[in-house]
Amino acid sequence: MDTTRVAVIGAGVIGLSTAVCISESIPQCSIDVISDKFTPDTTSDVAAGILIPHVYPENPVHLQKQWFQETFDRLFAIANSSEAIDAGIHLISGLRGSGGQVHIRKVEDLWEFYGSYDIVINCSGLGSRELLGDLQLFPVRGQVLKVQAPWVKHFIRDEEGLTYIYPGTFDVTLGGTRQKDDWNLSPDPQNSREILARCQTLEPSLQGAWGIKEKVGLRPSRPGVRLQKEILVQDGHRLPVVHNYGHGSGGFCVHWGTALQAVQLVKELITTLKISTSKAKL
């Protein structure tokens, strides 16, 4: 097997970073991204993308530290490079630059990929609840406001992290809410009023903010990130899968570290596939 055909499900920060990481680390892979939603319509588009460590009770602490450190190092390197201004589009352009294809569609069953791909990488976030029946996954709804306030140059955050003001490249994110098991993707006007009032108390100059847009995202929460390889078996057929989902409130903080670990799992599967292919030839 010269080329390993890889399908990545999901085009949020986790799917795209995993796809780019595989293409950078394992050149013999051809990678397609299949997703029902792309930017600007994913949960990842709602996040302010602040790097504050988030706790995953079911993942070993040393791994969480490693994911965070690797992600921080990667982003720090990008921030200090000529790519810094394009960092927001870095992932998708990196993938296309290496010949990857993107397909817009909803995946109903992982077996749809059998025969067309050698390995499936599942980065479908909250979608894994329906796709795999993973009932450990639950939404934590987050509503934020994106406003124009170019004079705000520093972030402000209260102690619990529920009220925050994060200046970004194009706007300032005002937050927020954390509503467990709430699936409502429509902005709630009452939430918006409260967010604005709380943020204006922290930073009164926000009374002059304009261009207010309401955004809602559902954090794909789980007691632990699922980073695991699995070989599905059906009617004597085998479908190798790597799962990388359930990043909850911290997907941006650990995306590159978890992508690197997913790459390791892909390498292990490729070794297994090569062994089974050569056995079949004997």
Ligand X SMILES: Cc1cc2nc3c(=O)[nH]c(=O)nc-3n(C[C@H](O)[C@H](O)[C@H](O)COP(=O)(O)OP(=O)(O)OC[C@H]3O[C@@H](n4cnc5c(N)ncnc54)[C@H](O)[C@@H]3O)c2cc1C
Show Cβ contacts of residue 139 under 8 Å, excluding neighbours closer than 6 positions.
126, 180, 181, 182, 183, 218, 219, 220, 221
240 vs 251, beta carbon nearer ligand X: 251
CA distances from 213 to 50, 70, 177, 217, 245 (A): 19, 33, 15, 13, 28
**The tokens of 266 are what?**
């892909």
| Member of 64, 110, 139, 219 binding ligand X (CB under 6 A) | 219
Instruction: Evaluate whether 141 touches 183 at the Cβ level (below 8 Å).
Output: yes
249 binds ligand X (CB under 6 A): yes
226 binds ligand X (CB under 6 A): no
| Member of 94, 100, 220, 240 binding ligand X (CB under 6 A) | 220
Instruction: Evaluate whether 102 touches 39 at the Cβ level (below 8 Å).
Output: no
250 binds ligand X (CB under 6 A): yes
Q: Tell me the closest approach of the beta carbon of residue 72 to ligand X, in angstroms.
A: 11
29 vs 219, beta carbon nearer ligand X: 219
- Asked if the bond preceding 223 is cis, omega within 30° of 0, the reply is no
Piece of the chain touching ligand X by CB under 6 A; list 6-14, 198-206, 227-235, 266-274: 6-14
| Member of 4, 43, 192, 258 binding ligand X (CB under 6 A) | 43
Site for ligand X in 76-135 (CB under 6 A): 106-107, 123-127, 131
Piece of the chain touching ligand X by CB under 6 A; list 44-52, 61-69, 86-94, 113-121: 44-52
**The tokens of 32 are what?**
């397609």
SS3 223: coil
Piece of the chain touching ligand X by CB under 6 A; list 19-27, 36-44, 75-83, 196-204: 36-44
- Best CA proximity match to 116, nearest among 240, 7, 229, 15: 7
User: Contact positions toward ligand X, by CB under 6 A?
Assistant: 9-15, 35-37, 42-44, 46-50, 106-107, 123-127, 131, 142, 144, 175-176, 217, 219-220, 245, 247-253
